[in-house]
Amino acid sequence: MSNSIERHAKLLKASASAARSITTILDSYELFQRTVDIICDEFGFYYAGVFLIEDQYAVLKAGRGEAGRAMLREGHKLAIGGNSMIGASIANKKGRIALDVGAEAVFFENPHLPKTRSEMALPLIINDEAIGALTVQSTDEAAFHEEDIDALQTMADQLAVAIQNAKLHRLEERRSRLLKAANRVGKETASILDLELLLPQTVNIICEAYGLYYAGIFLVENDYAVLRAGYGKAGKAMLAEGHKLLVGGNSMIGTCIALGEARIALDVGEERKHFKNPHLPHTRSEMALPIIYGNQSLGAVTIQSSEENAFSEDDITTLITMAEHLAVAINNARLINELKEAHNEILRNKVFEALTTASTEAIHWIGNKTLPISLTIARLKEEIADGKVDVESLKEDLDMISESAAQIIQVKEQLIGAVREMKPRSILLADVLQTAAYQRGIDQKILKVQIDPAAAYVIADSTQLTRAIGNLLQNAAEAGAKSIRITSKLTEEKDVIEINIDDDGAGMSGESQRKAFSPFFSTRGTSHHA
């Protein structure tokens, strides 16, 4: 009797010690593995394992030694209420003991544990609900007594509490991570005004921050939701195919846009509206969130996981917040694009207006230049016919004709330069600046050049770019500049650089500045044209 009391006291002491060791562990994997190790080390048992309920099965989450690792690799699980000690203890919410497993009707014969002769199965219960079970096994027959259930059940109850605490901690961490991810999407996308950058950046943030299998963004075009950004190889493949879904059609995305509300499929195999996509064969859960700005549906976000039941209420709340941030960013990007288009249209109209005005002026100017040429040639012909040619006078006349012809050629270049077919190529900006300065006779000493390394090489028509920069340098020099500063840098607009030329020469009035880039306009009198 005394041996039984001593044994029971030892079990209670070991159980209390084990309970204290596991209640502070918040990492699930560490908790389960630590539990089975403590049971085997403290109690001297052959094997221990932890099972948790998933669907209608008790799934092994941790097992002692090589046997446990082998069963984990195989995805070992037992039916609840089925032909096993674990299944029976979960179904009945009571501990079970098999003193000789060979005679136990509900014992599951396991090839990984051939030496087991006694087994105890203890349910893990929280709020009167079984969440799993603990198996403890010995190589001795009749190794367990009824009072052992009480001692070890105390530890099992503490393990259930620790599992619940770890789960709550995990949910709290996930909630915090989701909120940070949603805020990150809002913060990082708010400053991106180019849709070609905004949308891919958003799907990358979603997948990386939330640890998801796939994310994609669709925008509405006519009656279709057209994929504009997708994560990873699957996204690239669908973009290359021009993937699109009918709004209101038989898909999660089409339905969510048509209804203006989120749709969630926790198991896509059972979701009538789920679109079967060969590029995403591992999708088990999907969420489709509409992108709405004001009363307008701009598109939708698809978020997919390779796990069933992957999305919780917290996920829905934070992801809807993210979709709202994205809607604002998309609307801002579209407004900027519309403003750019409007600005470009105004600029084109002004250029055409300036060219029309310049062409009219050029026609009059050419007429004025060609008239004295015609008169001079007619006079020269008469003098030659009469034999009265004055050599000095002839030289002056030929110089006048040559100058007028050169000016007419210059006018031709000014007229067609703006519309000449461009021949862009890769050029070094520093070479263009040096050539422009050399052609216009600008002293290199007054130039101060600062070129951003990212803007050192440009794709441009070198002839026209050299002429344009040369005109500006010449104007600065003729305005009395003693210092000309040239800088270049990348702009926020894709594939565009900005070149600034500042000088300390005489400035222009506001009216002159407005006309400065019109062909043939000049502030230097009728004998010069810019």
Q: What is the b/e burial string over 313-347, where b = at least 16 CB atoms within 10 angstroms of the residue's CB?
A: eebeebbbbbbbbbbebbebbeeeeeeeeeeeeee
Residue 276 phi, psi dihedral angles, 5° rounding = -75, 115
Of 269-273, 436-440, 473-477, least confident by mean pLDDT is 269-273
List 471's β-bridge partners, or say none.
none
Chain CA centroid to CA 75, Å: 35
- 332 versus 86: the higher-pLDDT residue is 86
Residue 219: band (very low, low, confident or very high) from pLDDT cuts 50, 70, 90: very high
What are the residues whose beta carbons fall under 8 Å from the beta carbon of 237, sequence distance 6 or more?
279
The yes/no answer on whether domain 421-530 falls in CATH 3.30.565.10 is yes
19: pLDDT strictly greater than 70: no
- Over residues 293-302, the mean pLDDT reads 88
| Topology (CATH level 3) of domain 174-338 | Beta-Lactamase (3.30.450)
138: pLDDT strictly greater than 80: yes
Residue 331 phi, psi dihedral angles, 5° rounding = -65, -40
106: pLDDT strictly greater than 50: no
* The predicted structure's pLDDT at residue 294: 83
479 burial level (CB within 10 Å; 0-12, 13-18, 19+): middle
- 106 versus 121: the higher-pLDDT residue is 121
268: pLDDT strictly greater than 60: no
What is residue 215's three-state secondary structure? strand
Q: Which of 188, 199, 174 is nearest to 317 (CA)?
A: 174
* The predicted structure's pLDDT at residue 526: 42
**CA–CA distance from 210 to each of 267, 268, 289, 492 (Å)?**
19, 19, 15, 29
Residue 246 · residue 254 · CB < 8 Å: yes
417: pLDDT strictly greater than 60: no
Residue 345: band (very low, low, confident or very high) from pLDDT cuts 50, 70, 90: confident
Superfamily name and number for 2-168: GAF domain (3.30.450.40)
> Distance between CA 25 and CA 37 in Å, rounded?
14
Per-residue model confidence as pLDDT tens digits over 446-476: 889 898 888 888 888 888 888 888 888 888 8
> Distance between CA 230 and CA 404 in Å, rounded?
63
State pTM to two decimals. 0.45
What share of the chain in percent tops pLDDT 70?
72
Per-residue model confidence as pLDDT tens digits over 371-412: 666 677 777 777 777 777 676 776 777 777 777 777 676 666
- Over residues 212-232, the mean pLDDT reads 92
Token pair of 310, please?
A: 């992957």
Residue 365: band (very low, low, confident or very high) from pLDDT cuts 50, 70, 90: low
* The predicted structure's pLDDT at residue 415: 58
Q: Which of 498, 423, 500, 489 is nearest to 462 (CA)?
A: 423
- Over residues 337-351, the mean pLDDT reads 71
**CA atoms within a 13 Å half-sphere pointing along the CA-CB vector of 15:** 20
Chain CA centroid to CA 447, Å: 42
273: pLDDT strictly greater than 50: no
* The predicted structure's pLDDT at residue 231: 93
Of 2-6, 49-53, 340-344, 487-491, least confident by mean pLDDT is 2-6
**E strand map for 168-308:** 214-221, 224-230, 244-246, 263-265, 285-293, 296-305
What are the residues whose beta carbons fall under 8 Å from the beta carbon of 139, sequence distance 6 or more?
46, 115, 116, 117
Q: What's the mean pLDDT when you consider all of the chain? A: 78
Q: Which of 135, 121, 169 is nearest to 47 (CA)?
A: 135
516: pLDDT strictly greater than 60: yes
Per-residue model confidence as pLDDT tens digits over 149-180: 777 777 778 778 877 777 776 666 666 766 66
* The predicted structure's pLDDT at residue 244: 92
Sequence spans of domains, the chain: 2-168, 174-338, 421-530
Question: Which residue do the tokens 């694009």 mark?
Answer: 337
Same CATH fold assignment for domains 2-168 and 421-530: no
* The predicted structure's pLDDT at residue 1: 47
In what side-by-side order are the strands of the sheet with 47-54?
77-79, 57-63, 47-54, 129-138, 118-126, 96-98
* The predicted structure's pLDDT at residue 420: 54
Residue 140 phi, psi dihedral angles, 5° rounding = -100, 145
50: pLDDT strictly greater than 50: yes
* The predicted structure's pLDDT at residue 527: 40
